[in-house]
Chains A and B, each alone.
Chain A
Amino acid sequence: MQKSSIPKKNQFGFYEIRLESIGGLGANVAGKIIAEAGVVGMGFNGSNFASYGSEKKGTPVSSFIRYCDEDQPIRINSPVTEPHLLGVFHENLAARIPITAGVKPDATVVINTDKDPQKAREYLRLAGGKIFTVDAIKIAYEEKVRMNVVMIGAITRAMEFVDKEVMKEAISETFGKKYQKQLEANLRGFEAGYSQVEVMEFDEDGRFPVISFKEVQGDWGYENAPIGGVIVEAGSSILKNNQTSRQGKIPLFHLDRCIHCGMCETTCPDYCFSFVEKEDSKTGKNQMFNEGLDYQFCKGCLRCVDVCPVEALTEELEAEHEIDKITIKL
């Protein structure tokens, strides 16, 4: 028997959730838990899947959840384009892709951020709706859990119609088997996420437009693309931006300590370092000198900090630095 009624439904009878995240934050698992709580715990019918690419950490990923009444068959296999609830696991995603596409002014948005709902609305450029903010990263550090359980807590609070205890059962079902020790901490993280939200509701006041969902189309199509899938623009990956892969930490370069040995350059997987040829003032000979790194490509792995023999690279919190000012463009 279905334990509660579903408050909002689209034309096909679904309450729909979309989670936007980057690989490694656990949005897929969160999606699975939220869906399972609805289907197994609440007795709804439902489905859950994710936008899959290859199995990489740090690349954007979306997870989709649909709930409907228990006797309704599920027929839609396509991604959620107009979610009732949007969960944003990483605030930097807001800048990179239109994650609010298809989000209507009466939707609910739950976002992991250290800012308040007012500010969150500004950088999400949200037309209107209910915004729940939660500092999931901070809570996760405090409780020593992954941030996804904190987000599940906040999302459960925002949804209102899925029983809190049912969600906890779904968490126990997923983490209980293999990570029994971690389970208590996870449930604490969930509770913290549930209680430590800030919420505000915004009318559609015309400050920002509603962005409708559109499938992405590239510049190259069947009329102009080189045949066979050949890419003629060598080295074009420099247009990419890898910053969302970082999870709060950066390596900081201290020129005054650097001995320019080049070890950081040999360990950096993302080829971030700039070395330039200059005259060595001591010897008068030309030599290579390290100028620092380009944070556009830095994924925050901190390999360079580990290999530096003279602590010219140190581990720092990203929030305490203005990236634009310390970055050295390649």
Chain B
Amino acid sequence: MREQEAVFKNGNEMAAIAAAHMDFHVMGYFPITPSTGVSEELSSSKAEGLHNIVLIPGDGEHGAAGICYGAALAGGRVINATSANGLLYALEQLPVQSGTRTPMVLNVITRTVSGPLDIKGDHSDIMYTLNTGWIILMAKDPQRIYDFNIVGTKIAEHEDVMLPVIVGSDGFFTSHQKRRNYVFKNRENIKEFLGEYKPKYTAVDPENPITIGPYMNEPDLINNKVQLSNAMDKAYEVLPKILEEYGRLTGRYYNILETYKMEDAEACLFVLNSSFDTAVEAVDILRKEGKKVGIVSTNILRPWPKKEIIEIFRNVKALCIADRQESYGAKAGNMSIEIKATLKDDPENKTLIFNRIYGLGGKEFYVDDALELLKETLKVSESGKIIKEFDYIGAYEGNKHYEEKKYVKDVVSDFFDNKITVEKNKETGELIVKGVNTRNLTEMPKRIAPGHQACPGCGIFPNLNLLTKGLKGYVVFLFQTGCAMVVTTGYPYTAFRSTYIHNLFQNGAATLSGVVEMFEERKRRGEIDKNLEINFVMVSGDGGMDIGMGPVIGTALRNHNMIIFEYDNGGYMNTGYQLSYTTPHLAESKTSIVGPSFAGKSTFQKKGGVSTFHKDTPMIMAGTHIPYIATVAESHTVDFVKKAAKAQYVANNEGLAYVKAISACPLNWKSPPEEQRSVIGRAVESCYFPLYEVYHGITKITYDPEKSQKKMPVSKFYDRMGVTKHLLTEENKEELESIQKEIDRRWNRLKARDEHPLL
């Protein structure tokens, strides 16, 4: 046995420690709750110099999966972690990787699949991976996450297997629960266990040119799949040996199935992952009463442990399979379907099986729940009759006497009237806005009600207030996933007084363009009153403008009649502040932790330098040649409202308007809530975030800090935020100068565009 040491860590931390201990080469990732802790932990330990893993933030999970696939093709060891719709967004890459036989480890920290959006745990995500050709190990506790990441790597790289592997664990229940765990004291021991990874084919061996991923139709593809199927058989064959070897090194021996008191059990419950332990307590209670009950779970979903499943249930009279998801329409969860199919192949098996769906969307599974299920199973075993084949537990009917209430007065067309006018000057072609006055505008009803759950001092809501003050009449919002949607629509409450749609932040722009065109087409067909005017507004954070950039560009190129409003707080704040592409250069975030071995955002390990500085989204949008682009800041209220009003004019008459605000996040910027308006003011005065608009290709600076003699160096903005403060120290002098230089360059370029209508 090799020496082990105790650590008190949660599941995400254990996945990160395993990757660090194995000295993986690359992690491509995109933050999604609850898996984010893996990349955060690796960032934190990287800052301390505890490992050499290159952490590459993808533009979305699909991009992250691509990074991982590429990195794996280049012959090194790769890790990723994701959950829920992030996994589904990456899904199409998974068969590509298994079909081309490229090992890596993907931690799936299970969470329910949207919609409606729910960030808590169930197994609806991981069941989508059953057909992907990946090995799937299930880790019921933090200890197993560490162990199965290591064991999984060894299986994946076995020369007769060569398949990627998923390690599935329960979101929050396991990922966020700290437990006492054991890890190898010496990394050398893990190295010995794994051996050197030498894939036969890599993309970076130019002296042996190969083609990876050919165009392969019939009759050949079926042969490729037979090879894949055989590789799974091989994995099934080698797994017990690898587990045995691992047990000898660590004292932690694992079987294919996880079982409890199954030697003589007549009534049995099958559950996956963390619920197993809870159910064990219920078994102990019933065993004391002399009841022959037991629990089964599996440590491996793919390859499917058919032999072991058949054996374990051979003498069981009644079995309840509790699934944490349903295959809708099948009236069964996936484990129920698979186990029933498996037992059909055992002619001797007479087990009575029924299925319960439980714990969806993070609903807790208590010992009492397990007790109830086992008691019902006992009844079935004693009576020889199934009471109910399929049911949900834990759902409720609702209050039948509850009457729907009304919190908004009747909304009519002049309900939201801002008394602002926008006219186009026929000679100059400019838009002239009149009637913007902050005092008068207090008269306008708010489109968003108070009572939302944003942090104190949040910048999003002043921004939304100023935006919507500029919009007259009916508005339909689409919010992409982010802080603003989460804090306004926590069921059963909503802060919206106008119609609101949420879609995941890959796809909001495309979705809203669909709404716009359907509305117009139905008007044309006379299904909707031709005189009805609705303004369609998409609201997104900067995170949504990273992962959703593609659909935004598509929407812009199609030039739909709508507004895209971005609140940019320079990070993925809804998940606790991981870096986005607009995070200030070298700023600290939870995935760019500053320490002795890491300098902050943008220092990915690469040839000859750093990534480009904070993303210049308005200029990207300018490249699509949409009619209107504007930047706004809450520090310049009148300018803000005027631009919102112009955006509405453009959306109604000319096409797409894109408006971007820099938005304060006192919590994650580590900046006092009360100072946020002046902090935003400094972003403008320092030209970090200049205020301008581009109308039909003509750029106008709408506020010039130089002319107002208020221009200040970027350090005056950076010193107001804890996450950039380190850049003001003497040792970072050169770095700060390089940032100032880039800001000056962008500002001077903007001035040139302002001076020359053709630029």
Contact = CB atoms under 8 A, between A and B. Distances in A.
B457 A229 contact: no
A298 to B, nearest CB: 9
A302 B672 CA distance: 10
Nearest to A277: B443
A57 B280 CA distance: 37
Q: In this complex, which of B174, B179, B446 has the most chain A Cβ atoms within 10 angstroms of its Cβ?
A: B179
A302 B493 contact: no
A260 B439 contact: yes
B454 A269 contact: yes
B574 A217 contact: no
Interface in B249-270: none
A63 B507 CA distance: 35
Interface string B625-644: 00000000010010000000
A265 B399 CA distance: 38
Interface stretch (B347-355, B400-408, B530-538): B400-408
Given A77-B365, A265-B438, A237 B491 contact: no
A98 to B, nearest CB: 17
Interface residues on B, range: 35 or more
Contacts of B396: 217, 221-222
A233 B494 contact: yes
Q: How would you classify the secondary structure of chain A's contact residues: helix, strand, loop or mixed?
A: loop
Contacts of A23: 455
Contact of A239 (B10, B278, B493): B493
B407 A233 contact: yes
A162 to B, nearest CB: 14
A262 B405 contact: no
A75 interface: yes
A188 to B, nearest CB: 23
A289 B465 CA distance: 18
A23 B673 CA distance: 15
A305 B398 contact: no
A77 B177 contact: yes
B197 interface: no
Nearest to B448: A271
B398 A218 contact: yes
For A45, A56, A221, A302, the residue with the greatest tally of chain B CB atoms inside 10 Å of its CB is: A56
Given A35-B8, A47-B177, A269-B457, A238 B677 contact: no
B367 A78 contact: yes
A270 interface: yes
Contacts of B173: 49, 77
A97 interface: no
A218 B494 CA distance: 15
Given A269-B461, A270-B450, A299 B438 contact: no
B730 to A, nearest CB: 19
B466 A266 contact: yes
A6 interface: no
Contacts of A263: 438, 637
A303 B119 CA distance: 31
B176 interface: yes
B88 to A, nearest CB: 18
A225 interface: yes
A36 B179 CA distance: 9
Given A231-B494, A245-B456, A303-B673, A220 B402 contact: yes
A180 interface: no
Contacts of B457: 269, 299, 301-303
B449 A237 contact: yes
Given A220-B402, A245-B456, A40 B8 contact: yes
B440 interface: yes
Nearest to B171: A52
A224 B667 CA distance: 38
Nearest to B446: A271
Given A47-B178, A223-B398, A218 B492 contact: yes
Contacts of B494: 231, 233-237
B442 A49 contact: no
Contacts of B119: 52-54
Contacts of B455: 23-24, 56-58, 299
Contact of A238 (B450, B456, B637): B450
A266 B462 contact: yes
Contacts of A240: 451-453, 493
B465 A266 contact: yes
A242 interface: yes
Contact of B407 (A32, A235, A241): A235
A327 to B, nearest CB: 13
A176 interface: no
Given A77-B278, A237-B493, A245-B456, A224 B451 contact: no
Contacts of A222: 395-398
A232 interface: yes
B277 A288 contact: no
Interface in A248-285: 260-263, 265-273, 275, 277
Interface in B464-490: 465-466, 483, 486-489
B406 A233 contact: yes
Interface in B1-59: 6, 8, 10, 33-34
Nearest to B498: A234
Given A55-B575, A78-B366, A262-B442, A224 B674 contact: no
Interface in A16-55: 23-24, 32, 35-36, 39-40, 45-50, 52-55
Interface in B400-451: 400, 402, 404-408, 437-443, 446, 448-451
A52 B34 contact: yes
Contacts of B486: 54, 56
Interface string B493-515: 11111100000000000000000
Contacts of B580: none
Contact of A300 (B179, B439, B456, B466): B456
A105 interface: no
A166 interface: no
Nearest to A73: B277
A262 B673 contact: no
A98 B350 CA distance: 48
B675 interface: yes
A185 interface: no
Nearest to A300: B456
B278 A266 contact: no
Contacts of B177: 47-49, 77
B34 A55 contact: no
B381 to A, nearest CB: 24
A241 B402 CA distance: 21
A287 B439 contact: yes
A39 B408 contact: no
Which of A24, A78, A275 is packed against the most chain B CB atoms within 10 Å? A78
Interface string B364-397: 1111000000000000000000000000000111
A300 B33 CA distance: 28
B460 A269 contact: yes
Q: Which 3 A-B pairs have the closest CB atoms?
A: A221-B398, A237-B451, A240-B451
15 contacts: A35-B178, A55-B575, A56-B483, A57-B456, A73-B277, A74-B179, A233-B404, A237-B493, A238-B407, A239-B451, A241-B451, A262-B442, A270-B450, A287-B439, A288-B443
